């Protein structure tokens, strides 16, 4: 990139600094933003969450118990509630994941002391000496209480792998039937909740190509039709989500999508509102480390995250061959980085990972992709919110911290419910080191949206070497005020720990407004959020 030596003085950013902006006489990147009154709305649900009975996600992560000395609300960790409210967390997907297709909802209702202890799908994955038997202390009533406390909308995954249509339909009635109607509504009231839960989002199974039944797409399509044909319809109008592909496969699993929709021809009249796409930035079968890595590892992870865009576009095209009006939207209800095992935060914290600044930048570029495809994506759910994979939080007993990923969710809040604006970045691609030599990748990632007279712009500079001076031109209107926030650190592997919870955190960043131009310098290895008031 040009003017590299001039930029090195701005490249030594550390957490807590406020970077100075030099006058942008010749910017490294010219960015043009065009507000679009007809732009797609970025659903707040794109910033959704996923929690599963896996390792310590629920027990010790979210659920500490009603008698715990750890601050809690009816057994739910207070700090988790407060942080999820701060993020305006739009939804929570539960109870799985692979756990869902072995879960029977009746095991988790009634007196807590009378609930059965049952087998957990993840039990065999726990290290020797650790039990993962499901206590069922955390069931549907506890989950709904969590949703109410955090302001999140529930998204339930039904058991298709080992359940039945009747079990599914009974659960729907138990959750949504008004008082005084069916017997299941009276049973819900007897268990403490007279008013219906009002669950809108229903996933019909999970990963039915794998842990949810090892089916082919035709087999799953047949079961999907059986599970929804007699679906009990109560308010709110249900939003039914079918199991979609394993998008991180080498072939993107296009065959699952075409096979499913071929078996869902119009004559079946089986509604599919959402189509679940899973995409993990999957490094499980590599030697990549979570907490220690070189430049090639840094760029490889971020570049693989960017591949989400191609996966979304190709599945959307495949769906359109059968769904001409595109009624069915994509639900990216599992996404995030998945590294090899061996760096768990504690032995029984199954699939937990000590996330770093690299994972924060991966989160940012993923959100930019989701924002840019707001017309295709109705929801996305990070996997998972606490103590697992791409977590926002780590918790162990009374110890608790936010990971760098949390701060990216916070910085992107301005896009929630905004109208997508066109953002064009003019700067050369960057050549970067890779495991197989060198690779090309965009020098910057970004997205923009407008809402209530405000323009939100998010930009990511993945370079480990150079700051990038940007001139942002607004094609309509002018900015009367601006503020910017940056997330970065001098150490690319910096992370937050229980002992150092604020090692990586956002800081103010200088930004200059000149009429319809905005000037800002993005430090190396950084995520930047800019909020402009338009006139």
Active site residue ranges: 207, 334
CB 322 within 8 A of CB 272: no
Of 15, 453, 141, 105, residue with least CA distance to 118: 105
Residues 6 or more apart whose Cβ sits within 8 Å of residue 391? 352, 353, 355, 384, 385, 403, 405
Q: Which two tokens stand for residue 45?
A: 């649900």
508 vs 531: CA distance, rounded Å: 12
Q: Which two tokens stand for residue 35?
A: 């507000």
Of 463, 505, 457, 447, residue with least CA distance to 479: 457
77 vs 51: CA distance, rounded Å: 14
161 vs 43: CA distance, rounded Å: 30
433 vs 266: CA distance, rounded Å: 49
Of 61, 132, 26, residue with least CA distance to 386: 61
421 vs 456: CA distance, rounded Å: 9
For 527: left if phi > 0, alpha if psi spans -120 to 50, otherwise beta; the answer is beta
347 vs 356: CA distance, rounded Å: 19
- Show the 3-state SS of 346-386: CCCCCCCCCCCHHHHHHHHHHHHHHHHCCCCEEEEEEECCE
Q: Which two tokens stand for residue 452?
A: 């209530």
Residues 6 or more apart whose Cβ sits within 8 Å of residue 250? none
Residues 6 or more apart whose Cβ sits within 8 Å of residue 47? 87, 89, 90, 367, 380, 409, 412, 413, 415, 416
Residues 6 or more apart whose Cβ sits within 8 Å of residue 444? 29, 31, 425, 427, 459, 460, 461, 468, 470, 522
Residues 6 or more apart whose Cβ sits within 8 Å of residue 269? none
Burial class (CB in 10 A: 0-12, 13-18, 19+), 417: middle
Residues 6 or more apart whose Cβ sits within 8 Å of residue 324? none
What SS3 state is found at 123? helix
471 alpha carbon, distance to own chain's centre: 30
Number of residues that this document lists for the chain: 535
* β-strand pairing of 29-34 with 468-474: parallel
């Amino acid at each position: 990139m040009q003017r590299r030596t001039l930029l090195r003085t701005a490249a030594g950013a550390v957490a807590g600094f406020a970077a100075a902006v030099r006058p942008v006489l010749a910017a490294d990147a010219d960015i043009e933003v065009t507000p679009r009154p007809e732009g797609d709305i970025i659903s707040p649900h794109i910033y959704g969450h996923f929690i599963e009975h896996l390792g310590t996600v629920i027990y010790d992560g979210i659920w500490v118990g009603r008698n715990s000395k750890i601050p809690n609300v009816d057994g739910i960790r207070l700090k988790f509630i407060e942080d999820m409210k701060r993020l305006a967390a739009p939804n929570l997907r539960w109870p799985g994941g692979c756990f869902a297709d072995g879960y029977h909802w009746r095991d988790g209702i009634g007196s807590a002391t009378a609930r059965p202890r049952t087998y957990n799908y993840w039990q065999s994955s726990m290290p020797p000496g650790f039990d993962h038997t499901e206590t069922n202390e955390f069931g549907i009533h506890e989950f709904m209480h969590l949703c109410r406390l955090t302001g999140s909308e529930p998204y339930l995954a039904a058991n298709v792998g080992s359940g039945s249509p009747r079990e599914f339909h009974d659960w729907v009635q138990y959750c949504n039937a008004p008082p005084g109607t069916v017997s299941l509504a009276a049973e819900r009231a007897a268990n403490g909740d007279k008013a219906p839960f009002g669950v809108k989002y229903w996933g019909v199974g999970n990963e039915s190509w794998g842990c949810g039944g090892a089916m082919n797409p035709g087999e799953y399509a047949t079961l999907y039709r059986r599970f929804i044909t007699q679906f009990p319809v109560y308010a709110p109008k249900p939003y039914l989500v079918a199991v979609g592909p394993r998008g991180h496969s080498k072939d993107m699993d296009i065959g699952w999508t075409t096979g499913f929709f071929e078996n869902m021809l119009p004559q079946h009249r089986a509604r599919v509102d959402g189509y679940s796409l899973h995409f993990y930035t999957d490094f499980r079968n590599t030697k990549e480390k979570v907490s220690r890595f070189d430049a090639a590892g840094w760029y490889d992870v971020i570049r693989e995250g960017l591949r989400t865009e191609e996966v979304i576009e190709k599945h959307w095209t495949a769906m359109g061959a059968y769904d001409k009006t595109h009624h069915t939207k994509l639900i990216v209800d599992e996404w995030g980085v998945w590294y090899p095992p061996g760096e768990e935060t504690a032995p029984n914290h199954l699939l937990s990972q000590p996330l770093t600044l690299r994972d924060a930048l991966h989160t940012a570029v993923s959100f930019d992709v989701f924002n840019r495809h707001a017309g295709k994506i109705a929801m996305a759910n990070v996997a998972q919110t606490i103590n697992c994979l791409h977590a926002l939080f780590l918790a162990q007993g009374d110890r608790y911290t936010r990971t760098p990923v949390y701060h990216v969710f916070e910085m992107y809040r301005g896009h929630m419910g905004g109208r997508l604006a066109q953002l064009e970045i003019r700067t050369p691609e960057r050549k970067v080191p890779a495991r197989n030599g060198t690779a090309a990748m965009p020098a910057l990632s970004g997205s923009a949206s407008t809402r209530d007279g405000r323009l939100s712009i998010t930009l990511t500079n993945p370079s480990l070497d150079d700051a990038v001076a940007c001139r942002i031109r607004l094609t309509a209107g002018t900015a009367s005020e601006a503020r910017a926030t940056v997330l970065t650190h001098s150490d690319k592997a910096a992370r937050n720990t229980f002992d150092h919870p604020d090692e990586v955190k956002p800081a103010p960043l200088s930004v200059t407004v000149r009429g319809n131009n905005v000037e800002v310098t993005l430090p190396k290895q950084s995520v930047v959020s800019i909020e402009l008031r338009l006139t």
